[in-house]
Structure 1
Amino acid sequence: MAITKEQRKKVNSIYLSSGLVSICGIVYQVLYGAVGSYLFGDGVLFYSITIGLFLMGMGIGAISSERVHNGLTDRFIQIEYAIAVIGGLSTLGAFYTLAHYGTETSQLYMYLVITLTGALTGLELPILIRKAEAIGEESRKSVARVLLTDYGFSLIGAVGFALVLRPWLGLIQTAFFIAIINISIAIWISFRFRDEIKAPAVYQLIGILLALGLMTGFLYGEKWSNGFEERLYADPIVYSADTNYQRIVMTKEPGDIRLYLDGQLQFAESDEHRYHEALVHVPMSLAEQRSNILLLGGGDGIAVRELLKYPEIQTIDVVDLDPEMTRLATEHAELLRINQGSLLHDKVTVHNADAYQFLLQNQNWYDVIIADLPDPNNEALNKLYTDGFYKLIRNHLNPGGFVSIQSTSPLFATKAYWTISKTVEASDMTVENYHVDVPSFGNWGFTLASREDFTMEQISQLELQVETDYLKEEIIPSLFHFGKDEDEDIQDNGQTFVLEANTMNRPILLKLYSDAWQYY
């Protein structure tokens, strides 16, 4: 039997609602994955958990829908309100629980949020399908069309999050914005089906009040989260921003600016000279020529400051993925003071590009290559610590040239540190290892490499050509010696740990790194 024109309008409203709630559902999924990756690290693991819990929740919701027989429109509105409250507060709650109760509690909170959102999402579609059938739509049509709008609109949500929501709104405002969409759908349905609802005015009032609360969160959530985030850092935050690639936070206390990327300390003004002098001046003192230099990472400009002490340098190519980081290093007064405006020097060319892709496409050769990259705490960074990446570095290194690579801590992450060394060695370069004490970091390690053989005798005879605040010639050989609890003879439960190279196909470094740092 054909349905009436008014019934057709209601059915079309259901299909549109299905598409809109599917956008919200997919955004919540990727949002939760992004929040977990930022707060807890290991993006693949947390995204996998997010997808698994969300789908499990959807299954629970779907089977639970069998018990919903009457008041389908009322139930749908109630579900949208519940999703809006849980989803809207999700990100802010994650920051709050992390700041006040620690990582484990925050993770449990996120697991609960993911499961509940999934369960409520799983209730939506069966109820909408059943409602369309109750109006008079044929079963085969209602199922097919609801699923069509659900799957089709999901693409809009996924792409919209990556290209629009996260870059423009950030994680916290995105959660509130999507929650407001859920509320708006429910209010609209309460008007569209008001003749079928027991108390439409009550639903509309509740929806308006919830929308006002969520709008308050949208406007002030970032400010509140900054207060929570302050508890994660020892010093007051003077700058914070979410970029397309990472979260940048800068803190300040008298005499000590500190920069954090995704929660990891990059430098402390009070002792950064120890780190950067060891990173830069050891390979620069050993290289036969010092004309053309490649710096991978180092977007804060401090390593470039050290490089510019060598007047013979003709060009310095700086490759840093995040344009916001390099912009900050050329505009922020505190960073300009520390890096001495190094990225603005006419010898320096900044390339905002992926280091791996840059090496694949670039044809230049360099006398010294310095890898000052963030630690390998996710898949994107792991590829910059693989044998394939180090082979690309080798292939851009001039004869007589040297490479230095920041390689995390040999004391706190011994297996990870020596795995990096083993991986560099697997790229057919001669390798030596050295480390330095940086109070803000602890014992920090580097890998020194060259296409040609070199000896400790050469290292012991190197002469520093520039002024330094920490490094001096007589202590450099001592940096290449390691204690028993930090050398490459690693004993693991009475067994010798066998070092392997880290590859794209087998990213063993990720687990070694995360296991080592989970308690620090």
Structure 2
Amino acid sequence: MHKRLPVLLLISVFIIATCGLIYELIAGTLASYLLGDSVTQFSTIIGVYLFSMGIGSWLSKYFEKNLLSWFIQIEILVGLVGGTSSTILFMVFESVSSFRLVLYGLVSITGILVGLEIPLLMRILKDRYEFKDLVSKVFTFDYIGALIASLVFPLILIPYLGLVRTAYLFGILNVGVALLVCFGFAPEINAVRYLKSASIISLIALLTGFVLANVITSFSESLTYADTIIYSKSTPYQRIILTKRGRDLRLFLNGNLQFSSIDEYRYHEALIHPVLQALPQAQNILVMGGGDGLAVREILKYPQVKSVTLVDLDKGMTELFQSNEMLIKLNQRSLLSPKVKVISADAFAWARMQHTNYDAIIIDFPDPSNYSVGKLYTNKFYSIIKRLLSPNGIMVIQSTSPYVAPKSFWTVEKTLQSVGLHTVPYHNYVPSFGEWGYIMAMYKPSYHVPDKYLPGLRFMSKGTLEQMLYFPRDMARLPASVNRLNNQILVKYFEDEWSTVL
């Protein structure tokens, strides 16, 4: 064996380790897009993937001859299965009755093939290195590859390539390893011409998929969304989809509907005006979440408001709603107002560093479907936000549906009360979502239904708010727990309750 060839195989370890983790991350991310952004998706996929790798490692002992040939064939298979996995999953999502069976089947196959790679490589290299050196070198390259994959996936691959193209890219790398081994070890490989041909054909197929990735993505997403997709982009934090049918413009984040332009005014008027009509002197407003600028649009209707600070994690979201003409028209240029300061930051970390007091705080985060969002519904976060609220100020939190998820809704209220705030829960019917809930919180139990409202509102009035404050029996208050940072019981409640209707 030429002295440079073992080095080639060690480099192969680095590549296949990177590819293996990328396939795992793709499956988890895609599942969260299609099945709901839940910790369950990543947890089960990681478990199945690692278990499958264990099966692959165990099966490797049955490969006794022609190890290089077997290794090349496995690399080709890993490249083809992993490279096409996101395309297959997107395509079949709407057409099969058991999507999870396809999902975990692909994860299992990929895991088994990846589990075969390292044991076979170690056996190929065993005559070149002492055992202790072999183990240290192989696992060093393996772990470095895993680190690189975990860094580039969220920071570079998803924002700039997307799931489909990323999968094809790493499939190309796997097949590229197979082709390099074919040429580097040609004298030692049986049927090397056949393996070279198979590698080249597979490489051409994957390159074609890579080039046509945008076409594939657009087609597969058109099968998922009923309306025409007019914008789609993956950011480091989420998949943004805009659809349009007639005058109905809809925003989806990770597959979840955020608003319909036909009835979003009901949601946003109910979020903003019960607070600001009760605070006629409010001048400084904080909005957390709400990167679409629709809540800010309602706030800017009050001439006494001097400044609005909007904190949203995803810069890609706020930039979209500052630049797209249809969206600018919808939010009435709110994010371009000189009164508005947009900050791209994690709300939890940002709030901990602040000392400014705000007359009103609007909290419009996505639902607590995972722990990264669930932390923004904990007593720890509310105690931080409480410091930023003026003594006579009011904050309001969108709090999911008290009809579909009553335990979740009342848990938000209980958590707010646990930090010493008085609460005023209310609800509202939004046709696109159904019954939806909000909770106002303040230092003193001093809230009174305002008598007057801004002219020109399409929905809110004194009578409307009085109805919102009444909860019928099927949404009545339930015993609830405090959502704490160390347990995040709200995430479990939310998953359990919404899983019955999704």
Question: Residues 129-144 of structure 1: matches in 2 within 5 Å?
Answer: 129-134=122-127, 136-144=128-136
CA distance, structure 2, for counterparts of residue 153 and residue 228 of structure 1: 30
Residue 267 of structure 2: aligned partner = 275
**Matched residue SS, 1:290:** coil
**Matched residue SS, 1:231:** helix
CA distance, structure 2, for counterparts of residue 216 and residue 126 of structure 1: 31
Q: 1:76 pairs with 71, 74, 78, which one?
A: 71
Residue 197 of structure 1: aligned partner = 189
Residue 33 of structure 1: aligned partner = 28
Q: 1:473 pairs with 462, 475, 482, which one?
A: 462
Residue 108 of structure 1: aligned partner = 101
**Matched residue SS, 1:99:** coil
Contact 2:360–2:395 under 8 Å retained in 1: yes
Residue 112 of structure 2: aligned partner = 119
Given the two structures, how large is their TM-score scaled by the length of structure 1? Answer: 0.93
CA distance, structure 1, for counterparts of residue 314 and residue 136 of structure 2: 43
Question: Residues 82-481 of structure 1: matches in 2 within 5 Å?
Answer: 82-101=77-96, 105-134=98-127, 136-287=128-279, 289-455=281-447, 458-459=448-449, 461-481=450-470
**Which digits, 9 at most, give the CA deviation of each residue in 1:309-354, with x for residues without a partner?**
1100110111111111111111111111111111111111111111
Contact 1:310–1:466 under 8 Å retained in 2: no
CA distance, structure 2, for counterparts of residue 467 and residue 400 of structure 1: 27
CA distance, structure 1, for counterparts of residue 322 and residue 294 of structure 2: 11
**Matched residue SS, 1:207:** helix
Contact 2:32–2:254 under 8 Å retained in 1: no
**Matched residue SS, 2:402:** coil
Residue 11 of structure 1: aligned partner = 6
**Which digits, 9 at most, give the CA deviation of each residue in 1:148-178, with x for residues without a partner?**
2222332222222232222221111111100
**Matched residue SS, 2:436:** strand
CA distance, structure 1, for counterparts of residue 391 and residue 152 of structure 2: 48
Question: Which is worse superposed, 73-82 or 215-224?
Answer: 215-224
CA distance, structure 2, for counterparts of residue 377 and residue 300 of structure 1: 20
CA distance, structure 1, for counterparts of residue 460 and residue 192 of structure 2: 75
TM superposition shift of 1:209: 1.0
**Matched residue SS, 2:224:** coil
Letter of the structure 1 residue corresponding to residue 108 of structure 2: T
CA distance, structure 1, for counterparts of residue 223 and residue 323 of structure 2: 27
TM superposition shift of 1:466: 4.2
CA distance, structure 2, for counterparts of residue 463 and residue 128 of structure 1: 76
Q: 1:501 pairs with 474, 478, 482, which one?
A: 482
TM superposition shift of 1:419: 1.0
Q: 1:475 to 1:144 in 2, by over 3 A?
A: closer
TM superposition shift of 1:504: 0.8
CA distance, structure 2, for counterparts of residue 466 and residue 370 of structure 1: 22
Letter of the structure 2 residue corresponding to residue 484 of structure 1: R
TM superposition shift of 1:33: 2.1
CA distance, structure 2, for counterparts of residue 348 and residue 69 of structure 1: 68
Letter of the structure 1 residue corresponding to residue 119 of structure 2: P
Contact 1:274–1:470 under 8 Å retained in 2: yes
CA distance, structure 1, for counterparts of residue 19 and residue 188 of structure 2: 25
Instruction: Please tell me the root mean square deviation across aligned C-alpha atoms, in Å.
Output: 1.6
Contact 1:309–1:466 under 8 Å retained in 2: no
Where structure 2 has 5 or more consecutive residues not aligned to the other structure, the ranges are none
Given the two structures, how large is their TM-score scaled by the length of structure 2? Answer: 0.96
Where structure 1 has 5 or more consecutive residues not aligned to the other structure, the ranges are 1-5, 490-497
Letter of the structure 1 residue corresponding to residue 452 of structure 2: E
**Matched residue SS, 1:419:** helix
Letter of the structure 2 residue corresponding to residue 29 of structure 1: E
**Matched residue SS, 2:396:** strand
**Matched residue SS, 1:276:** helix
CA distance, structure 1, for counterparts of residue 423 and residue 386 of structure 2: 12
**Matched residue SS, 2:95:** helix
Letter of the structure 1 residue corresponding to residue 277 of structure 2: S
**Which digits, 9 at most, give the CA deviation of each residue in 1:419-472, with x for residues without a partner?**
1111111121110111111111111111011111125xx22x532134301111
Length, aligned pairs only? 501
**Matched residue SS, 2:473:** coil
CA distance, structure 1, for counterparts of residue 259 and residue 119 of structure 2: 53
**Which digits, 9 at most, give the CA deviation of each residue in 1:470-518, with x for residues without a partner?**
11122211110011111114xxxxxxxx310111111111111112222
TM superposition shift of 1:402: 0.9
TM superposition shift of 1:226: 2.1
TM superposition shift of 1:7: 3.5
Contact 1:411–1:443 under 8 Å retained in 2: yes
Q: 1:63 pairs with 58, 62, 70, which one?
A: 58
Q: 1:297 to 1:467 in 2, by over 3 A?
A: same
Contact 1:295–1:316 under 8 Å retained in 2: yes
**Which digits, 9 at most, give the CA deviation of each residue in 1:82-129, with x for residues without a partner?**
101110111112212222225xx2222221122211111111112111
Question: Which is worse superposed, 240-249 or 8-17?
Answer: 8-17
Letter of the structure 2 residue corresponding to residue 509 of structure 1: L
**Which digits, 9 at most, give the CA deviation of each residue in 1:361-380, with x for residues without a partner?**
12211111111111111111
**Which digits, 9 at most, give the CA deviation of each residue in 1:243-266, with x for residues without a partner?**
111111111111211111111111
Letter of the structure 1 residue corresponding to residue 52 of structure 2: G
Question: Which is worse superposed, 345-354 or 6-15?
Answer: 6-15
Question: Which is worse superposed, 21-30 or 7-16?
Answer: 7-16
**Matched residue SS, 1:143:** helix
**Which digits, 9 at most, give the CA deviation of each residue in 1:278-310, with x for residues without a partner?**
100000011252111111111111111111111
**Matched residue SS, 1:24:** helix
Contact 2:37–2:254 under 8 Å retained in 1: no
**Matched residue SS, 1:465:** coil
TM superposition shift of 1:230: 2.0
Contact 2:31–2:41 under 8 Å retained in 1: yes
Letter of the structure 2 residue corresponding to residue 401 of structure 1: G
CA distance, structure 1, for counterparts of residue 9 and residue 328 of structure 2: 56
Question: Which is worse superposed, 114-123 or 461-470?
Answer: 461-470
